[in-house]
């Protein structure tokens, strides 16, 4: 992948970091340290906000990688080729040769990522419930990660190609029609609709002054429209 650095291999699968990702990591860390944690815990010392923001950001993107490896390992189990797992400015992506599979392969592979995120959300929420009263910092980070993984699973289950929910929808269309190309086109229409709704929502937020949320929705909406038109036909995409 252009503009990417392979940082390690997990079970022989390359893990790439695109050059667009580090600024996003820094921005997320800054947002958590400057806004999220200070608003929830105004009594903390200043250094604690930045330390919690950094740790939470590292664990957030680790959760994204776990989500993508959920796809990758199930794809391997189903006999499909996995080329790489990547982090980029909109989140994570597993590059998998889904065209050689079956509707069942697509279904289980697409479902695996959100399943991992749901398990992580439950685990982090359990940590928050068990530690919040005694270890405020650990509890606060766990609360953020529990919410983030829950939202990640919910967002990716939206029925728009190439999100996981769109992949599940495509597998259903594929099973019924017996035509992968037709199923992709149908699921892509849903993806373009969701992408268009994201663009509109982003513009509304931008005009209301919330630049961060507005930009994120515009970027994700535009990306989904391009991807649904076939820009990334072999990828499973998971925005943060």
Annotated catalytic residue: which of 43, 68, 95, 106? Answer: 68
Bridge partners, residue 5, by sequence:
17
What does the alpha-carbon distance between residue 105 and residue 80 come to, in Å, rounded to a whole number? 8
Cβ distance 30 to 52 under 8 Å? Answer: no
**Annotated catalytic, 43?**
no
Query: Strand runs (DSSP E) across the chain, as ranges?
Result: 4-10, 13-18, 82-88, 91-96, 235-238
Tokens of 203: 């513009």
Question: What sign results for the dihedral spanned by CA atoms 82, 85, 86, 87?
Answer: positive
Distance CA(29)–CA(35), nearest Å, equals 10
Q: Which two tokens stand for residue 187?
A: 């699921």
Catalytic residues: 68
């Amino acid at each position: 992948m252009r503009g990417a650095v392979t940082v390690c291999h997990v079970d022989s699968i390359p893990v790439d970091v695109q050059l667009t990702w580090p600024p996003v990591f820094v921005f997320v860390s800054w947002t958590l340290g400057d806004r999220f944690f200070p608003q929830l815990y105004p009594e903390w010392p200043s250094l604690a906000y930045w330390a919690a923001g950094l740790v939470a950001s590292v664990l957030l993107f680790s959760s994204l990688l776990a989500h993508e490896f959920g796809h990758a390992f199930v794809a391997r189990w189903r006999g499909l080729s996995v080329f790489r797992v990547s982090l980029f400015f909109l989140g994570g992506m597993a590059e998998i040769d889904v065209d050689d599979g079956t509707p069942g392969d697509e279904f289980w592979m697409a479902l695996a990522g959100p399943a991992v995120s749901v398990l992580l959300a439950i685990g982090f929420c359990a940590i928050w419930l068990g530690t919040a009263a005694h270890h405020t910092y650990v509890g606060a980070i766990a609360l953020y990660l529990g919410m983030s993984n829950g939202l990640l699973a919910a967002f990716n289950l939206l029925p728009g190609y190439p999100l996981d929910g769109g992949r599940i929808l495509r597998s259903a269309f594929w099973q019924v029609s017996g035509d992968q190309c037709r199923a992709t086109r149908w699921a892509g229409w849903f993806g373009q609709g969701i992408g268009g709704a994201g663009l509109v929502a982003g513009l509304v937020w931008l005009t209301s002054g919330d630049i961060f949320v507005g930009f994120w929705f515009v970027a994700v909406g535009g990306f989904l429209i391009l991807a649904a038109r076939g820009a990334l036909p072999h990828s499973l995409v998971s925005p943060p």
